Structure 1
């Protein structure tokens, strides 16, 4: 081992040390490895986002931010389901509003009850109009027909023959009575109403033919 005299060892003072360190770090290889302003910007954004989900980083903000994000995602899914995920429901609402040339939101049961009330008052014309609407509404509620907007009474009768071929004649007669009263102003009587009501009642308890949607209570 060779011992060097301490006098031969140069130890820089504080100012010289800082100057030498600055000169060393100013060399090209050090400058090339230094993060750019863009690197620091991206790192700051990532760190801020991560802090949202850490209790230490954001305190009470983290639970609130997480809850807000979850609520927004769930709301977006619900809106998408209502708007695009259930077209059948949307069509059903549109059909309920427009039936046989009238905008009417009453259910089949409500229309039947109103028709029976008018029948008790012997207002046969109005009772027949409402009872045929109840018949059509009941088929719609059971998804047995899907008439185009503005469909006529005969058009609904023809479509209803597909799931109920055994009712073809009775459906035609019911539509004929409706058209006569509604458009031709032909006076109706109790017999005409009872025949229409019987057709409606029998359709409610009848099962559609194979290949048609399953019947459900109307």
Structure 2
């Protein structure tokens, strides 16, 4: 619909009345002319051309914004802009404080491989699979799934990453950098995973229970520091520690 301003609408209506008067042999008095004009403006084309509430609101907003930058606004316009900018920044800061840093959804940041297996299950799903295997007495599968759940859980919390090619011992060393107090138990857990996964050693209920206790502690533990991004960084750190140790001896 093409909108015609009110002034143009009245002009069109007046022109139509004038054309009508040219066809009328008599000259109307004031009330008749006014009535004819109102009758003409009440017709559908003129009513359709009237601005609706949205048009009036849009024009009012445009006029208000224009007044902020007009010559009569003085310093009021820039002051309002500064106030609005401060409010926006404050709202963003409050959002970060309340909700934390935005993160990618779990599926998008979950790697597709963990310890040689293409697997996109999250930590909760891996943990449930371990519990199901343990309930059926399959301790070997339960240990494998629970160790993967441990690694995936730390990756989901962005404490460390598990890249394609990451080994169980590489993961254990990097996790120990974030949780030094669990260094020995993480090394034992990595060795347990390798034995049941690659050496054909049958897992036991005791092994599963011990690993479950470690996984439960690390699930909510606060890291002392973020782990290195890859095994190479761990090796460099270990090498530096060894060099310092040799120098001290």
> What TM-score does the superposition give when structure 2 sets the normalisation length?
0.47
Equivalent residue, structure 2, for 1:36: none
CA deviations on 1:152-179 (whole Å, 9 max, x unpaired) are 0000011101110111011001111100
Q: How many positions carry a matched residue from both structures?
A: 125
Equivalent residue, structure 2, for 1:117: 132
Would you say the 8 A contact 1:147–1:159 is kept in 2? no
Equivalent residue, structure 2, for 1:142: 157
Distance 2:124 2:110 in 1: 16
Moved more, 93-102 or 155-164: 93-102
Please, which runs of 5 or more residues in structure 1 have no aligned partner?
Answer: 1-87, 214-218
CA deviations on 1:117-156 (whole Å, 9 max, x unpaired) are 1101110000000000000000100011124421100000
2:184 pairs, out of 169, 184, 199, with 169
Equivalent residue, structure 1, for 2:246: none
Note closer, same or farther for the CA distance 1:122–1:138 as it changes in structure 2 (3 Å cut): same
| Secondary structure of 1:160 counterpart | helix
Note closer, same or farther for the CA distance 1:203–1:112 as it changes in structure 2 (3 Å cut): same
Equivalent residue, structure 2, for 1:187: 202
What is the root-mean-square deviation of aligned Cα atoms in Å? Answer: 2.2
Equivalent residue, structure 2, for 1:58: none
Equivalent residue, structure 2, for 1:212: 226
Distance 2:151 2:138 in 1: 20
Distance 2:152 2:214 in 1: 14
Distance 1:98 1:108 in 2: 13
The 5 A counterparts of 1:1-218 are 89=104, 93=108, 95-209=110-224, 211-212=225-226
> What TM-score does the superposition give when structure 1 sets the normalisation length?
0.53
| Secondary structure of 2:118 counterpart | coil
CA deviations on 1:170-210 (whole Å, 9 max, x unpaired) are 1001111100000001011100000011100010121111x
Please, which runs of 5 or more residues in structure 2 have no aligned partner?
Answer: 1-102, 228-249
Q: Give the Å deviation of 1:212.
A: 3.0
Q: Give the Å deviation of 1:96.
A: 2.3
| Secondary structure of 1:105 counterpart | coil
Distance 1:99 1:148 in 2: 7
Distance 1:147 1:201 in 2: 19
